[in-house]
Amino acid sequence: MRARRAAETLRKHGYNQINCVGLDEYKKKGYKLIYPKGAPKG
């Protein structure tokens, strides 16, 4: 709910693309990011 309200507020003020800055800070601290695997093909 809070994330949706934040996104609505940002869009209202002209921000169309919202990036996750927290992930950039996480990577800078040396933590590895784990990306989910795609759905199995078949």
CA quadruple 17, 15, 29, 34: dihedral, nearest 10: -30
pLDDT at 20: 63
pLDDT at 19: 63
Distance of CA 37 to the CA centre of its chain: 17
pLDDT at 9: 85
Provide the residue ranges of all domains of the chain, joining segments of one domain with +: 1-35
* Inter-residue contact 7 to 16 (CB < 8 Å): no
Instruction: List, for residues 1-42, the tens digit of each pLDDT value.
Output: 788 888 788 888 887 766 666 677 778 888 887 777 777 776
Report how far apart, in Å, the C-alpha atoms of 10 and of each of 5, 17, 20, 29 are.
9, 9, 13, 27
